[in-house]
Structure 1
Amino acid sequence: MFAYVDSALMNNLGHHANSARNISTELRSRGIPCAVLGYLELEPALKDELAAAPWFRCNTYGIYDNDPICGWLANFDFVSRVLADDMNRIQGIAATDVIYVNSVQPPQFMGIVRWAQALPEDRRPTVIVEFGTDPGLVAHDTPEGLRFSPMDTRVDSRAVLLRYTARHLSEADQKWLRLATFDTQSSAIFQLLLDFPVGTLPLPQQAMTSCRDRSGTRPITIGILGHQRGEKGFDKVPALVARLLAERTDIRVLVHNGLPEGMVTPQQELRAMAAADPRLTLDERTADGVLWASLLDQTDLIVCPYNRNRFISSYSAVASEAMANAIPVVVPEGTTMHAVIREFGEPGTIFKEESVEAIAAATHAALDDFDRLAELARQASIRWGETRGAKCLVDTLLSWQAAS
């Protein structure tokens, strides 16, 4: 049995549903049974589409203790114990099974460790734990390269709790436990923090469109897509869009925000702008697979005005979707997104400073060189299909299975 575990799988917001779609569909196409276990409040339509079970009582991103001093620690302890209990309710797990745990945070990491270490050694399945977001470290540029430090636990406790959990592991746990991220830079940073081997998996994003040749397209549609948050620079988007529309006559702008109530002020500013300029289109729907494919297909250039520190050690599903679907990008320097475009032939531009001026300049550079970048993006999508996507990911996951 292969079990896909994700206690944040609830709806179509963010990357969780698409990852579950890609992986479970690939496994089932090979005749490999795949149980998909999501959050208890899993939306019925998504439940039916994925043949998934609402299973976990605590959401990955839920806060269940708001104590101003020790809530971060109490929440970690409570959620990890509940998740371990929820894992114990899965019947018939054997050493020959593979459990893939998607996009964990510290409580889920500890919960999985508690659960598996309590099993008899001869019953422990192969467990692959994927870290889908950064570990909560602050990156510092030094003459010797990047250095990292943890944050105050009252602000962000993830690095401390990840390290604490890893101290419960020994070399013997390497027999059954595989830790992973989706890029080598992130894996190296997590391994440094955890002092435990961390591997690298192929990204699951794959072509959802025809990967059309965008060369010669005018006007060029700039897309800012996804679940918008502060760490994705969405507070800068109204000023960025206003500047681009004022300075260019050869563009349209498509801004998609799957959770508009999460960023109220910038979303209101964009609504006012869209009412006054027909070149700006807003889409505030949560994107299922069909809508997401449509948004990608409408977009000619994806701009990711993201926070550098957040994405030094975390992949971007949106930038990965761009590579898979032949779309040039604008991304921050020194991030995993920058590493991806370097690997795939530079089908985009970068910005060094997290300012509207710097992001606009990088976007102008991409627009001015658009036809060449579009051809590079088309070539990148071909290479992506050969080295990334669900097939390559599932091949790797199955190869990581411990010998029974």
Structure 2
Amino acid sequence: MTVFFLDPGIQTFSGHHTNTVFSLSQELRRRGQDVRVVGHRHLAPNVVEALGAEPFFSLGTYEVTSTDPICGPLETLIDGAVMIMGDLRRLNPVPGDVMVWPTARPHHIVAMGNLLRSWPSPVLSVFTAGFRCAEPESAYWRFACRRLPPAAPVVLAATADLMAGDYADVVGRPFVTAPNPHEGRFRDRSGADPVVIGVLGHQRPAKGTQLLPQVIRWTRGNARWLVHDSGTDAGPILDDLETLPNVRVVRSKTTDWQGLLDSCDALLMPYSRTEYERMHSGLVAEAIACGLPFVIPDAPALVEQASEAGCVAYDGDGAEAVTDAVETLLQHFKPLAWAARSEAARYAERNGPGRWVDWLMQRAADAGLPGCA
């Protein structure tokens, strides 16, 4: 049995795609399992070396094939499936192999659905989903899942019961809840002074980037800011933030992601409540795993995900509400940091690479794969 990690988002060490698969592939190899990591065709050399990754996919996870304002997403679904299917034809899996999509998109599922009809059986496919249960996105996911052959061994997974239930209702197929694979390196941050607040990832409107200039200027308290952007959409905002003496801006897709997390004492996620009302955040999971206190909107899915972590959840979408939450974090930072450390320890008991690999092996046994009984 070979476990394939199929993720066109693996390109550099700048985000959760590469870091998550790095931890999972290490755990599988430690157990003597054959692993192939298949990433974007333009792989950074250090990713190839660290993961043994193969340059492969011609279309990145978040790349589009059309920017048409009306039918662009539909064209990307159709054209992207054709491109990914063409890539996948080169894999040649054998019976008993496992195909894991850690961050699946609808066009990935359509491509797999077409190929599973001709690949040797059994080949287990595992798709981890994350999407907003609203039109038109729900329609794309339902369409994609309807392309999966009914008899093929397939696992559709989410990282929380709330999302698993929502997704099953949308696509008309069962979803299961998987352990969260993120592995944290947590330390005691309770004595931090000043508190370094990180705003990390791809900066865009859905993540509240436009609020940052006001929030940072209005926040009272001893804070320093680390603003990272792995995209290209927030240039003018970052230019403005670079003029502030207490802000460090990092614009890079190749920055060491775990190093960024280690540099922070807390995280701010001023996300759109609407966008994240029924969807988890990978960054929240990483904050919990690393014992980082954080600020989030009071969207139900995010609040559920936060559990008993050291977080402040705010009501509202404007800069004033976010600023009040950040100041609350600073005023109560020590107990929040203690709570975050305690939740990180609890998280490690039920999540992380080891728990996730145990879960995967059980799914393979349930599917009747050779050698997994």
Q: TM-score, structure 1 length as denominator?
A: 0.85
* Structure 1 residues without counterparts, runs of 5 or longer: 139-149, 152-157
The percent identity for this pair of structures is: 26
| More deviation, 73-82/263-272 | 73-82
Instruction: Pick one of 261, 264, 267 that aligns with 2:238.
Output: 267
Q: What is the aligned partner in structure 1 of residue 201 from structure 2? A: 226
Displacement of 1:287: 4.9
Is 2:1 the partner of 1:3?
Answer: no
SS of the aligned residue for 1:256 comes to: strand
Q: What is the aligned partner in structure 1 of residue 315 from structure 2? A: 352
Deviations 1:48-70 (Å, cap 9, x if unpaired)?
22111111222222222455654
Please give the residue correspondences for 1:188-337 in structure 2 after superposition, counting only pairs within 5 Å: 188-208=165-185, 211-244=186-219, 247-248=220-221, 250-259=222-231, 261-273=232-244, 277=245, 279-288=246-255, 291-337=256-302
Instruction: Pick one of 112, 137, 147 that aligns with 1:168.
Output: 147
The residue type equivalent to 1:29 in the other structure is R
Deviations 1:340-380 (Å, cap 9, x if unpaired)?
222xx241110121111111111122221111111111111
State the distance in 2 between where 1:324 and 1:287 align. Answer: 22
Q: What is the aligned partner in structure 2 of residue 58 from structure 1? A: 59
Sort the Cα spacing of 1:216 and 1:59 in 2 relative to 1 into closer, same or farther, 3 A.
closer
| Segments ≥4 residues shifted beyond 6 Å | none
State the distance in 1 between where 2:292 and 2:69 align. Answer: 44
State the distance in 1 between where 2:143 and 2:314 align. Answer: 35
Q: What is the aligned partner in structure 2 of residue 134 from structure 1? A: 131
The residue type equivalent to 1:282 in the other structure is V
* Structure 2 residues without counterparts, runs of 5 or longer: none
State the distance in 1 between where 2:141 and 2:289 align. Answer: 31
Displacement of 1:220: 1.7
- Asked if 2 retains the 8 angstrom alpha-carbon contact of 1:14 and 1:227, the reply is no
State the distance in 1 between where 2:71 and 2:289 align. Answer: 43
Q: What is the aligned partner in structure 2 of residue 370 from structure 1? A: 333
The residue type equivalent to 2:34 in the other structure is P
Q: What is the aligned partner in structure 2 of residue 125 from structure 1? A: 123
Deviations 1:278-326 (Å, cap 9, x if unpaired)?
x2222223355xx333322232221111112222333322221211111
- Asked if 1 retains the 8 angstrom alpha-carbon contact of 2:113 and 2:149, the reply is no
Instruction: Pick one of 347, 350, 362 that aligns with 1:384.
Output: 347
Q: What is the root-mean-square deviation of aligned Cα atoms in Å?
A: 2.0
- Asked if 2 retains the 8 angstrom alpha-carbon contact of 1:201 and 1:396, the reply is yes
- Asked if 2 retains the 8 angstrom alpha-carbon contact of 1:331 and 1:351, the reply is yes
- Asked if 1 retains the 8 angstrom alpha-carbon contact of 2:12 and 2:254, the reply is no
- Asked if 2 retains the 8 angstrom alpha-carbon contact of 1:204 and 1:389, the reply is yes
State the distance in 1 between where 2:73 and 2:230 align. Answer: 27
State the distance in 1 between where 2:58 and 2:122 align. Answer: 23
Q: What is the aligned partner in structure 1 of residue 47 from structure 2? A: 46
SS of the aligned residue for 1:236 comes to: helix
State the distance in 2 between where 1:169 and 1:179 align. Answer: 11
